[in-house]
A and B are shown apart, each in its own frame.
Chain A
Amino acid sequence: MKPLIEAASISHGYGGRKVLQGLDLSIDKGEAFALIGPTGAGKTTLLRIIDLLEVPDAGEVYFDGRRIPRSGKERLDIRRRMSFIHQKTRVFDLSVYDNVACGLRWRGWERNKIAEKVDHILEMVGLTGYAKRNARTLSGGEAQRVALARALVLEPEVLLLDEPTANLDPVSTAKIEQLVSCLAREHNTTLIMATHDMSQGQQLADRIGVLLDGRLIQAGNAANIFRSPQGKEVARFVGMENILEGVVMTGNEGTVMVNVSGNAIQAVSDYSVGKEVYACVRPEDITVSLSNTRSSARNSLQAEVTRVTTLGPLSRVEMNCGFRLVALVTRMSAEELDLQVGKEVYATFKATGVHVMERGISQ
C-alpha cells in the first residue's frame, strides 16, 4: 500500500537556523501517528510543511502518491482535504456557529447542509446552546472544543494536531483526547499529532516518531520506543532515567553481564564481549527493598539512599550503589520502608528490564 503522506529529505530553516535536517517520514491512510520530542525539535515546522502552510527549503512532500507543487492552486485543493489544529488556538471574533461553519462556507457548501453539519458537531463536542455566543467569550477548554469542532466538521482525510491539550486542565484534556480518538476512528481519519506528553502519544497513536534536533531518530510502536530507545538522547527523552555506562564482560545465549563501575549487571542482549554499551533501566522498573530477596528479578544491588522526593502518589528514590540509580516507588511503600537519606537498601530489577545499547551511535 502506498503511504498517504510522504515527506522526503525535508530540510527547513528560519533565518539561518536549521530546524529540520533531511527528514524522511511516511504515514499510511488511517494511521494515528504521534510526533514526540522536546520543544524546538521541529515538530510544529514539520506539521506546517505537511499542511502546506510552508514550503520546505529542500525536499518534497507527496500526498496520495502525487508530488505537491511548491506553489499554485493545487496546494489549496490538497490542503482542503486536511485540517490542522494549531497549538495557539485562535477562535475568530465571530459567533461559535460562524467559527465552526467558516470552513464549509469557504468550500462553497449550501446553507442548509452547513446548518445540519454544524449543529451535529456542536452536539458532539458538547457546545449545543453556545451557537450564538461570541467565541472570544469562551473559556480555554471551550475554545479548544470550538477549534476541534471547526476542524472536524470538515471531515478531513488528515487531521493534524499540534499539542492539542497544552495549557488545558486534566478534565478538558481527557475530553479532547476522547473526542479525537472517537471521531478519528469513526471516519478512518489519518491522525498526525505533535506532543511532548509521552502518555498522550502512547494513548492516541498507533505509531510514535521521536524528533530530536530536526531529525526523526526513531519511529515505531510505543513498546519499541519506550522499551528499546535508539541512542542516549531518545532514552533520556522517553524517561529512561538510568543510563549506565558499561562494558560487556560475558555473553551467553542472549544474556550478557555488563560491568558497570565494578558491578555486574545481567541483561538481555546480543552484544559481544568487550563492547562499550549503555545499560538503561526505567526508574519504575526498579524495586527497593530492605533485604536481598532473590526472585525472578536477576539483579539485586546493595545501595545507599541519597535523596527522596515526593511526586504526588510516587516517591523518587535516588541511590548510590557505586553509581547513581533512580527508582520510582509508591509513596506508601517509601513510607513503609522508611526510606531516608543514608538508609541501606537493595535495588532490584529484572534482566529483561535492562535495555542495552551500543555507545556512540546515532548522535
Chain B
Amino acid sequence: MTEIWDGLTRAVQLIISFDPEVLEIAGRSLRISGTACLLASLICLPLGSLIHFRHFRGKRVLINIIQTLFSVPAVVIGLLLLVVFSRAGPLGELGILFTPAAMVVGQMILIIPLLLGLTISALSGVSKETADTAISLGASEFQTIWLVLREAKYAVLAAVIMGFGRAISEVGCALMVGGNIKGATRIITTAIALEAGKGELELAIALGAILLFLALIINIVLNRLQER
C-alpha cells in the first residue's frame, strides 16, 4: 500500500518541479486528445443535430448502432487502424503509422459514437416547441440547429467533456498505432503501462494522478467558458 502514498507524493514533486520529461508527455497527451476531441466535436455536433432534426427511415436503428459503439474497446480500433495504416494497408501511403496523427485519428474514431449519441440525447432534452418557435420566427435549418444547441449547452458540454475524458484515458489504441516511442508518441497512459511493466509503480501512480489533475483543469476551463 505504501506505493500509492509514495506515488501521490511523487506526483506532487513532479508537478511542482516541472519535470521536463513529465511535462513533455503530459503536453503531448493534452495535444493529441484535445485535437481528437475538437475535431470529433466539429463533426459530431452538426451531424448529431441533423440526425436529431431530420426524419428518415432507420433513424432508430442508426441511434441504436451509435449507442452500441460506445462500448468499442480502444484496442480493437487500434488493431484495425494498424492494418489500415501499415505499409501494405489501404492507407499505408500516408505514412502516419506510429505518429501522433495516427493517434489523433484513433481517438477520434473512438469518441465519435459517444459524442454523436450524447449530442442527440442532449438535443432531445430541448422541447420541440423551441425548435418550432425558431422556425416560425424565420430561422433556417442551420440557424435552428445553432439555437437549439445553445439551449442544450450544459448537456452538450457534458458530452464534449465525456468525449475528452474517454480520449485522454484510453491506452489500447495509442499503444497500437503510436507505439509508445519516447519523445515522439509517448503519452501519459502509454507511459503508465510501460512504467508499471518495468515495476516502477510509484512513477506509474504519479503519472495517473497527473492525468486526473489535467482532466480537472480541462473541466474547470470548459465550465468557465460556457458560463460566459
Contacts and interface: CB of A to CB of B under 8 A. Distances in A.
Nearest to A94: B150
Interface of A: 51, 53, 76, 79-80, 82-84, 86, 88-90, 92-94, 102-103, 106-107, 147, 150-151, 154, 160
A79 B138 CA distance: 6
Nearest to A51: B136
Interface string B117-144: 0000000000101101111111110010
A84 B131 CA distance: 13
A92 B136 contact: no
B147 interface: yes
B195 interface: no
A84 B150 CA distance: 22
A176 B36 CA distance: 51
B151 interface: yes
B136 A106 contact: no
Contact of A92 (B135, B138, B143, B147): B147
A93 B147 CA distance: 9
B198 to A, nearest CB: 52
A80 B138 CA distance: 5
Interface-central residue, A86, A92, A160, by most chain B CB under 10 Å: A92
A90 B133 contact: yes
B144 to A, nearest CB: 9
A152 B91 CA distance: 57
A83 B129 contact: no
Size class of the contact patch on chain B: 10 to 19
Contacts of A107: 138
Interface of B: 127, 129-130, 132-140, 143, 147, 150-151
Contact of A86 (B136, B138, B143, B151): B136
Contacts of B135: 53, 79
Given A92-B147, A92-B151, A93-B151, A150 B137 contact: yes
Contacts of B132: 53, 86, 90
A106 B150 contact: no
B139 A106 contact: yes
Contacts of B129: 86, 88, 90
6 contacts: A53-B132, A53-B135, A86-B132, A102-B137, A103-B137, A106-B143
B130 A92 contact: yes
A138 to B, nearest CB: 15
B136 A76 contact: no
Contacts of A82: 136
